[in-house]
Amino acid sequence: MAGVALTAAASAANAYVIDFTKASTGHSGSLFQGAVTWHLSSSGILNNSQSFDGNPTPAGTGLSFETDGYGVGRNDDEISTWPNRYEWIDITFSAPVLIDAIYFLDLFRSADGSSLEVGKASINGGNPLITLAATDTAGTGASGFVGTTFGPVFASVIRFTVLASNDGYGVADGALAGIGIAPVPVPAAGVMLLGGLAGLGALRRRRKAA
């Protein structure tokens, strides 16, 4: 199992980020000293082999930006949507975790401003948790980075896709760059609660003995 890249984020909103722009992250890993594991699956071949080529490099995310993030395809580092084809990437956790940020790369607006690419993340098979609309213009050398932080949300499975709107080049596509993880996982919270109850019980026994 490949080790996950856990990096202290610059933003106070999230404690860690699973960094899909780090070349060594791989398709699976663990969080919180192994308390929770995660793995990626997709509609095709997972690929994060393309080197990051945006300018400037986004700051304040905890991402390394060694690569352009994960996409689907043997020679493609982006999640694509076009007629009769719909690509996706899922991340599945062994136990629910609190997520508080989502990051995409390679989402662009068309040069004339008439359309833009949109990344989508859906949680536990339900409605979209977020949709992130491109802000960078295609063809300018920018990274197409879009990210957002939010109040922590429990997740066991997150599906990442791209909507059909386009940037005027080829097909609608974008890359998964990272996921922010809040500091306390569900298993750890349970252990803390049990530890607190045990401590209260011990304190009561001491008082009775006195």
pLDDT, tens digit, 9 for 90 and up, residues 81-98: 988 889 999 999 999 999
- Quick check: is 132 in a domain? yes
pLDDT tens, per residue, the chain with 210 residues: 233 333 333 333 457 899 999 999 999 999 999 999 999 999 999 999 999 999 999 998 999 999 999 999 988 889 999 888 899 999 999 999 999 999 999 999 999 999 999 999 999 988 788 999 999 999 999 999 999 999 999 999 999 999 999 998 889 999 999 999 998 755 545 544 444 444 545 445 555 555
What tokens does 30 get? 């663990």
- Quick check: is 201 in a domain? no
Contact assessment for residue 163 and residue 130, using Cβ atoms and an 8 Å cutoff? no
Contact assessment for residue 49 and residue 71, using Cβ atoms and an 8 Å cutoff? no
pLDDT in tens, 3-37: 333 333 333 345 789 999 999 999 999 999 999 99
Counting the structural domains of the chain, the total is 1
- Quick check: is 23 in a domain? yes
- Quick check: is 188 in a domain? no
d(CA 11, CA 28): 24
Closest CA to 180 of 62, 60, 24: 62
- Quick check: is 87 in a domain? yes
- Quick check: is 77 in a domain? yes
CATH number at residue 30: 2.60.120
Helix H, strand E, coil C: the string for 121-139 is EEECCCCEEEEEECCEECC
